[in-house]
């Protein structure tokens, strides 16, 4: 760094430095503080949106009446929540609940639509659950190749056995018994804990020990 002989030279050098660089420094400071306050505003906004979504989800669930299958009030509230707060976990929960509602009404195509949304665009926490349910609904719709594809896409170890079993059921429905039995065997080997009752039935049916 250059040395200055007198105070006057130092002062003059500082003046020249600020003249040349002052605007950039001030702008950088403004941007820095702006970024900080912008981030805090974004966090507050996200929190506010989550609270609104929570309230809307609670209102939607409250609209469900015991023993009621047709429930237009819940459907309307759930769809509004999904549309307005798609990136919150409450939207995924609402879509899962809405799919469950459709299944009780045997509206499997509508249920599949909601489950596919959760699997593809919803909160990642619920992805595997949505995929499992979607595969089951696709089996009901006799869309077996799609059911296999969805079940295969489940990559969590905890759901491996169920994924294999669903694939096997789809193959069995298409008359591909040998392939199905092979997958039932893999599902048995992948079981972690209590065996699924349907898998247990299939193991007995095909003499798999």
The mean pLDDT value of the chain amounts to 78
Domain ranges within the chain, ordered by starting residue: 12-122
138-174 pLDDT tens trace: 999 999 999 999 999 998 888 999 999 999 999 999 9
* The pLDDT of residue 15 is above 70: no
Q: Which of 12-21, 45-54, 74-83, 111-120 has the highest mean pLDDT?
A: 111-120
- Residue 39 scores a pLDDT above 50: no
Cα-based distances in Å from 79 to 29, 51, 57, 177 = 44, 17, 10, 40
| 42-46-49 Cα angle (round to 5) | 135
pLDDT band of 41, cuts 50, 70, 90: very low
Rounded-to-integer distance, Cα 167 and Cα 183, Å: 7
pLDDT in tens, 70-107: 677 878 888 888 888 787 887 888 888 889 889 988 99
Could you tell me the pLDDT band of residue 38, with boundaries at 50, 70 and 90? very low
- Nearest 5°: phi and psi at 187? -65, -40
The per-residue pLDDT for range 46-78, each reduced to its tens digit, is: 555 556 556 666 665 665 554 455 677 878 888
Q: State which of 1-5, 47-51, 191-195 shows the largest mean pLDDT.
A: 191-195
């Amino acid at each position: 760094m250059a040395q200055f002989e007198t105070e006057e030279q130092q002062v003059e050098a500082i003046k020249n430095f600020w003249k040349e660089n002052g605007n950039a420094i001030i702008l950088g400071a403004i941007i820095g503080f702006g970024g900080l306050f912008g981030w805090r505003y974004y966090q507050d906004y996200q929190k506010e949106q989550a609270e609104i979504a929570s309230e809307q989800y609670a209102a939607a669930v409250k609209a469900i009446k015991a023993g009621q299958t047709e429930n237009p009030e819940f459907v309307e509230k759930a769809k509004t929540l999904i549309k307005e707060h798609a990136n919150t976990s409450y939207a995924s929960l609402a879509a899962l609940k809405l799919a469950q509602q459709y299944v009780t009404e045997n509206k499997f195509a509508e249920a599949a639509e909601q489950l596919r949304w959760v699997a593809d665009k919803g909160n990642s926490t619920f992805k595997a659950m949505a995929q499992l349910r979607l595969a089951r609904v696709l089996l009901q719709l006799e869309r077996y190749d799609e059911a296999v594809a969805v079940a295969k896409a489940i990559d969590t170890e905890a759901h491996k056995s169920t994924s294999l079993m669903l694939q096997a059921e789809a193959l069995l429905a298409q008359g591909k018994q040998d392939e199905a039995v092979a997958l039932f065997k893999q599902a048995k080997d992948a079981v972690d804990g209590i065996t699924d009752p349907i898998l247990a039935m299939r193991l007995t049916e095909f003499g798999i020990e």
